[in-house]
Structure 1
Amino acid sequence: MAEKLKIKLSIANRVYPLTIDAHQEEGLRKAAKNIELMIKQFEQSYSVRDKQDVLAMCALQFASQVEQQSIDKTNVNSHIEEKLKNLNELLDSFLVSQRS
């Protein structure tokens, strides 16, 4: 059974206690650090009245990155599928010509 860890992450001046699997710790700590960095960037770039607004912008930024990666992956997969289809057709043509 996986070892459980109790950790505390600080995000936007709030501490969040979590119980996690040991293998998740590094990813969660990096994510919290990235959120903190993004909060500082938004606060420096825009006049922000409320942490809620900054956190909403962080969530939007991260969600849009995930969606864009999904879109990019789909486009790459379509491109690869098309190339494989063309290659398969070339191989089929070659094999047919060799039988004749």
Structure 2
Amino acid sequence: MGEISIKINIADRVYPLKVNMEEEEIIRRAAKLINDRIKEYQENYAVRDKQDLLAMSVLHYATSSLKAEKKVSFEDTEVAEKTYQLDKMLNDFFSKQ
């Protein structure tokens, strides 16, 4: 599928983008998440500067992303270890027969 032009509003600024059609929904959802986070920070903290709100939102999502990467890496390692143990058990079982 081809590229389309869309406009995304983040922190009261409009950003024209060219995106693949299949990515449009994800980008719009991401923009909504960012705007929702900014609104939450605006309501709960005495911060009004959009730049500060954007920085706080980026820090939140970057931290979440790194935590998710770490979890996936740990789970991948755990799965690999269990696969190795299972393979060893099967090899031991079949070598005895």
Structure 1 runs not aligned, ≥5 long: none
Q: Stretches of 4+ moved more than 3 A in 1?
A: none
Listed one character per residue, the Cα deviations across residues 9-42 of structure 1 (whole Å, up to 9, x for unaligned) are: 1110111111222111111111111111000111
Q: Are the aligned partners of 2:8 and 2:14 in contact in 1 as well (CA < 8 Å)?
A: yes
Once the two structures are TM-superposed, the CA of residue 43 in structure 1 deviates from its matched residue by 0.7
Q: Which residue of 2 aligns with 1:64?
A: 63
Aligned residue runs from structure 1 range 13-24, under 5 A: 13-24=12-23
Classify the secondary structure of the residue corresponding to 1:47. Answer: coil
Answering whether residue 41 of structure 2 is matched by residue 42 of structure 1, we say yes
Count of residue pairs brought into register by the alignment = 97
Q: What root-mean-square deviation, in Å, do the aligned CA atoms of Structure 1 and Structure 2 show?
A: 1.0
- Partners of 2:42 and 2:48 within 8 A in 1: no
Q: TM-score, normalised by structure 1?
A: 0.91
Q: Which has the larger radius of gyration?
A: 1
| Alignment gaps of 5+ in structure 2 | none
